Copies of this chain bind each other. A is one copy, B any other.
């Protein structure tokens, strides 16, 4: 089964939780409480999302995370990319070298690209808003 990691799933849950709150700034602990997910896990997800600027983080006492884009502008593609890494269907993408034993003789070398492109654009076109409606 093609799948995204559970963490990506959590990411969506956490991001949706923002939209259900009156506060714009929420700490990891507060979000854990809202989502009923374990706090360390929520913290991990938020760190990953912050690194890719999907949420904005404010450090220090009284800090937390905020969502400064409308959820209609956040695609599943970017969430998955932030949490699970690049969206690519096989390990042998583009110019990646040295990872495949059959490189020299592989009949489909580089051929998964149309699939990657299709997949990526599919995920770009689904936004967080689509998942809450």
A interface residues, Cβ below 8 angstroms from B: 1-4, 6, 9, 12-13, 16-17, 20, 35-37, 76, 80, 84-92, 102, 105-108, 111-112, 114-115, 118-119, 121-123, 125-126, 130-132
Contacts and interface: CB of A to CB of B under 8 A. Distances in A.
Interface centre among A37, A88, A107, A121, by most chain B C-beta atoms within 10 angstroms, is A107
A90 to B, nearest CB: 5
A4 B4 contact: no
A48 to B, nearest CB: 13
Contact of A17 (B88, B107, B132): B107
Given A6-B91, A16-B107, A111-B132, 13 more contacts: A1-B86, A1-B87, A2-B3, A2-B119, A12-B111, A16-B108, A17-B107, A111-B131, A112-B131, A114-B130, A114-B131, A119-B119, A122-B122
